[in-house]
């Protein structure tokens, strides 16, 4: 077959394909922004969880290592792990709306406990933004329910446990020392003039917290 016949054959095949395009299977629509945040909120490892409070506090905690703040969150996480049994719901970090009742954590939500205790610490470290931090904490807790990984009752129990854990830690002298050092780091982070990149998306998605510009 010469080159001319190859070209003509290829053109004919292309024309045929354009005239009768292949059937492309429908795909599930992308989730809205709130569900994308819900997916992100499932990541509550103490080394990265402070970033969830960037916009509420007015800082970029990922920009520079904050060892004392990380140590505060790690101490909180150890207490939560010691007091709250491991979730029986899927723990693969994937936000998926399950069928009603399928795979739902019905005991006490460990994620809700973590979020509540983290939020208590962050509100103490940035008291002028305490209301904004409280609202963001609520969003973190609500995300697990939105994802279908827990129910409202288990989430409420987890929140109550997390609040108690932070209250108990607050009277521990060693933890108080960590908090004092972390407060210095948070104040330094808030002096960064560059806004955290996720704040524009948060403003579009959530009701703006008071004081969070």
Query: What is the span of the domain harbouring residue 158?
Result: 32-205
Q: Which CATH number fits the domain that encloses residue 79?
A: 1.20.144.10
Q: What pLDDT, on a 0 to 100 scale, did the predictor assign at position 97? A: 58
Tens of pLDDT, residues 37-94: 898 899 999 999 999 999 999 999 988 889 999 999 999 999 999 999 876 555 456 7
Tens of pLDDT, residues 108-147: 999 999 999 999 999 999 999 999 999 999 999 999 988 8
Q: Could you tell me if residue 21 is inside a domain?
A: no
pLDDT confidence bin for 106, thresholds 50/70/90: low
Q: What distance in Å separates the CA atoms of residue 155 and residue 141, rounded to the nearest whole number? A: 7
In the 8-state DSSP scheme, what is residue 41? H
CB 108 within 8 A of CB 153: no
Q: What distance in Å separates the CA atoms of residue 57 and residue 179, rounded to the nearest whole number? A: 16
Where do we find the tokens 């108080």?
176
Q: What distance in Å separates the CA atoms of residue 39 and residue 161, rounded to the nearest whole number? A: 23
* Number of structural domains found in the chain: 1
Residues contacting 124, CB < 8 A, separation 6+: 170, 179
Tens of pLDDT, residues 136-155: 999 999 999 888 888 899 99
């Amino acid at each position: 077959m010469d080159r001319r016949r190859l070209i003509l054959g290829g053109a004919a095949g292309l024309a045929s394909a354009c005239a009768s395009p292949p059937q492309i299977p429908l795909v599930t629509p992308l989730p809205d922004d709130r569900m994308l945040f819900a997916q992100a909120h499932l990541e509550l490892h103490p080394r990265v969880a402070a970033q969830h409070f960037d916009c509420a506090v007015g800082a970029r905690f990922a920009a520079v290592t904050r060892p004392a703040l990380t140590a505060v969150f790690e101490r909180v996480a150890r207490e939560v792990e010691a007091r709250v049994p491991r979730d029986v719901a899927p723990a693969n970090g994937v936000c998926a709306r399950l069928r009603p009742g399928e795979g739902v954590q019905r005991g006490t939500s460990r994620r809700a406990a973590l979020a509540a205790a983290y939020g208590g610490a962050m509100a103490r470290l940035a008291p002028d933004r305490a209301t904004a931090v409280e609202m963001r904490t609520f969003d973190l807790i609500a995300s697990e329910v939105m994802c279908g990984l827990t129910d409202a009752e288990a989430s409420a129990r987890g929140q109550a446990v997390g609040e108690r854990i932070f209250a108990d830690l607050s009277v521990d002298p060693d933890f108080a020392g960590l908090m004092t050092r972390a407060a210095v780091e948070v104040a330094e982070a808030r002096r960064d003039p560059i806004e955290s990149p996720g704040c524009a998306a948060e403003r579009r998605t959530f009701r703006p917290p008071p004081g969070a510009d």
